[in-house]
Structure 1
Amino acid sequence: MARIMVVEDNALNIKLFCDLLSAHGHEARPVTDSRIALETALEFEPDLVITDIQLPYVSGLDLIRSMRGEERLIHVPIMAVTAYAGHGDAERIYAAGAQAYVSKPISVARFVAEVSALLPKEATAA
């Protein structure tokens, strides 16, 4: 079981992501306010962070950069989720420090596959 933090301001999306993660045997920690996401990550010590890019207060890109600046979080994989997968977005997401991104509306199969690919093999055994 992996510990996965989900940063998302849309209630339906956070429920979907957390339900999918729980159904695959993971512990999902929802964070709906990006202003407390960095503090929550340091406390929760996730194996993976999934973050929306379009967030109020602190953007997903800024959150990723902040996590990459924290010694305790620098090696935690990050998957970005965005509704605005336009030209150049992938480059900006990867440059900020994410290892993967999935565009919304999500494909459940792709979402689950990306999560599995980012987690250590021992964490994916449900």
Structure 2
Amino acid sequence: MQRLILVDKSVIIRKVAKRILSDLGYLVSEADDAEAAMAICKGRLPAIMIVDASLPGATDLIADIRKIPGGDDVKIYYCLVEGKLKHMMQGKRAGADDFLLKPFDRDILTKVFSNPSKTAA
């Protein structure tokens, strides 16, 4: 079972996404801020991270994950409300691999994460 960390300040977003992603076969951890996410990652890096772009320190978190030994192997999704090029470039420069648009639902998460072995970095 692949480990996935969902980093979002919204309890509702984390709860819904955790349920969907758990149903898809992921072992999901949650963090409501960058500090909590980093603490989890220092204990054991996940295969996948979903980081909310509106989270304070989101790009710093991504850059810091990349600096951890093995951090380059984590597939990081930068989660945006709008697909604005400026924000996408900020995420990409920090080290994000891909993007997700919010609000997401079961169909979107299933399409992106339905085969855990294909999403592994």
TM range (shorter): 0.7 to 0.9
Unaligned runs of at least 5 residues, structure 2:
none
Q: From the superposition, tell whether residues 93 and 112 of structure 1 become closer, same or farther in structure 2 (CA, over 3 Å).
A: farther
Determine if the alignment matches structure 1 residue 64 to structure 2 residue 62. yes
Identity %: 23
Distance 1:65 1:43, change over 3 A: same
The secondary structure found in structure 1 opposite 2:77 is strand
Offset of 1:7 from its aligned partner?
0.7
Letter in 2 for 1:111: L
2:88 maps to what in 1?
90
Instruction: Provide the residue aligned with 2:48 in structure 1.
Output: 48
Which runs of at least 4 in structure 1 moved beyond 2 Å after TM superposition? 107-117, 119-123
Amino acid in structure 2 at the alignment position of 1:64:
I
Aligned length: 120
Counterpart pick for 1:79 among 77, 80, 100 = 77
Separation in 1, partners of 2:119, 2:17: 21
What's the C-alpha RMSD, in Å, of the aligned pairs?
A: 2.1
Structure 1: tracts of 5 or more residues without a match:
none
Q: Is the 8 A contact 2:7 2:50 kept in 1?
A: yes
**Per-residue deviation, residues 4-48 of structure 1 (Å, max 9, x unmatched):** 011111000001111111111111001112222112112132111
> TM-score under structure 2 normalisation?
0.85
1:28-47 equivalent positions in 2, closer than 5 A: 28-47=28-47
Contact 1:100 1:114 in 2 (8 A): no
Provide the rounded CA distance (Å) in 2 between the counterparts of 1:67 and 1:116. 24
